[in-house]
Every structure is written in structure tokens, then in C-alpha cells.
């Protein structure tokens, strides 16, 4: 995994970001909790550390899965 510095903060973030809009099935589609956990684990094992989530993704389920 390649990393970039985030501005002048010194924080190293992965060039790839994991989008979590499809974590959860609240909208009638998306990944189950088990599948979401597998996706997250593969991302972390590959060295990823940048995750995109928001409280409106599947009514907040994506954030619950990540906590």
C-alpha cells in the first residue's frame, strides 16, 4: 500500500480509501454485517487506513459496523 502525507499534519494516509456506502442492508441492498467485516478486514490487512463513511449511509449502519 502506498501512503501520502495529509497536508502538513504528518499523518500518513493510504492512497486507497474504503467507501462504506454499501455497508448494511437497510435500503434493501448492500452488504451484510459479515460481508462488510470481511471487506474491512481485507482492506486493513492490505494496509488501508482511510475510510469514507457518514451517518446517512444506510441510516448510520455503516458507522455502527465500523465501531
CA-based nearest residue to 16, from 45, 36, 37, 38 = 45
Of 23, 40, 43, 57, the active-site residue reads 57
| 3: annotated active-site residue | no
16 within 8 A of 55, measured Cβ to Cβ = no
Helix (H) or strand (E) holding 34: helix 33-45
Which residues are catalytic, by number? 57
Amino acid at each position: 500500500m502506498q501512503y501520502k502525507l495529509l497536508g502538513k499534519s504528518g499523518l500518513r494516509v493510504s492512497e486507497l480509501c474504503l467507501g462504506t456506502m454499501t455497508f448494511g442492508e437497510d435500503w434493501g441492498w448492500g452488504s451484510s454485517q459479515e460481508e462488510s467485516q470481511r471487506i474491512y478486514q481485507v482492506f486493513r490487512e492490505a494496509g488501508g487506513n482511510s475510510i469514507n463513511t457518514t451517518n446517512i449511509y444506510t441510516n448510520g449502519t455503516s458507522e455502527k459496523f465500523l465501531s
